[in-house]
């Protein structure tokens, strides 16, 4: 992992919202240990307990940060259970959070190198609550790594970490299989199918795609802009992060198609649908 030049950067993503003292508490812990850190909020409005949505938001935001950034993610419905706290090292970054799949999409896209279970008790706060590992474990560990601690010093390397299905879309023959990851504020349906996989089946701008979402079958053009179709019409497009998105020009695709995160997605080139 490349080292950050200058003041260390720590990012923070949670489902905590802004009304409670949780985010501020984590920042206070991190600044007490690493006062020179710059703490950047990715989002605190991830839907409550939605690991899938949190994973996507984290994966979309983190590549734009300088190498050496420490990324902290806390969407943790399993807090207080046997799920492990982990540190994940990728080619350019370190990720700190729960072993529930939240960190893996971002780390795997960057190039996964190693995963360590956080077991060194002295790196945590003196009292670790059952309900707030973000403050008591993840924040102090992230701050110590930002201050120069080697990630391997947090505990043993592990290989049985959780890699959720949404982090591994599949190519089978001439079809892609993935799922709906997220519905953005415009009602756009964001999938986990990247541009590289679409290229594997020969899809490019102008291609006609057959897209199956749940029990719905759509024939959509892969467009370069929302305005390529009439208002109210559906289209496929590569979003600004290179992921396949299903949208409706000047409308909400999620509402019109009654689609929710987690629904399976299948994509293939329509017969005679080359660009």
* pLDDT reading at 4 higher than 90: no
Mean pLDDT (whole number) for 163-168: 92
Name residue, tokens 């719905």.
216
Answer whether 188's CB lies under 8 Å from 247's CB.
Answer: yes
Residue 215: predicted pLDDT: 84
Residue 2: predicted pLDDT: 55
Report the SS3 class of residue 191: strand
Q: What is the mean pLDDT of the chain?
A: 95
Q: How far apart are CA 24 and CA 249, in angstroms?
A: 39
Return the higher-pLDDT residue of 5 and 22.
22
272: buried, middle or exposed (CB in 10 Å: 19+, 13-18, 0-12)?
exposed
Q: How confident is the model at residue 238 (pLDDT cuts 50, 70, 90)?
A: very high
pTM: 0.89
Q: How far apart are CA 80 and CA 200, in angstroms?
A: 42
44-103: pLDDT as tens digits: 999 999 999 999 999 999 999 999 999 999 999 999 898 999 999 999 999 999 999 999
């Amino acid at each position: 992992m490349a080292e950050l030049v200058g003041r260390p950067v720590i990012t923070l993503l949670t489902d905590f919202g802004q009304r409670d003292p949780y985010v501020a508490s984590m920042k206070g812990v991190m600044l007490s240990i690493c006062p020179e850190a710059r703490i950047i909020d990715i989002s605190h409005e991830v839907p409550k307990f939605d690991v899938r949505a949190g994973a996507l938001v984290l994966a979309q935001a983190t590549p734009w940060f300088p190498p050496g950034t420490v990324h902290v993610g806390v969407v943790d419905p399993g807090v207080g259970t046997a799920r492990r706290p982990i540190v994940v090292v990728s080619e350019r970054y370190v990720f700190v959070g729960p072993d529930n799949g939240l960190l893996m999409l971002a780390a795997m896209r960057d190039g996964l190198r190693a995963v360590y279970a956080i077991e060194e008790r002295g790196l945590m706060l003196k009292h670790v609550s059952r309900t707030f590992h973000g403050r008591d474990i993840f924040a102090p560990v992230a701050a110590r790594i930002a201050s120069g601690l080697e990630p391997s010093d947090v505990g043993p390397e592990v290989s049985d970490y959780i890699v959720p299905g949404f982090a591994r879309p599949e190519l089978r023959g001439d079809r892609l299989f993935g799922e709906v990851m997220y519905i953005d504020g415009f009602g756009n349906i964001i999938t986990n199918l990247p541009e590289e996989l679409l290229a594997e089946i020969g899809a490019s701008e102008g291609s006609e795609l057959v897209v199956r979402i749940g029990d719905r079958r759509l024939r959509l053009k892969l467009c370069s802009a929302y305005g390529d179709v009439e208002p109210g019409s559906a289209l496929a497009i590569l979003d600004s992060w290179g992921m396949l998105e299903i949208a409706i020009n000047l409308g909400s695709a999620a509402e019109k198609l009654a689609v929710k995160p987690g629904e399976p997605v299948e994509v293939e080139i329509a017969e005679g649908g080359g660009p």
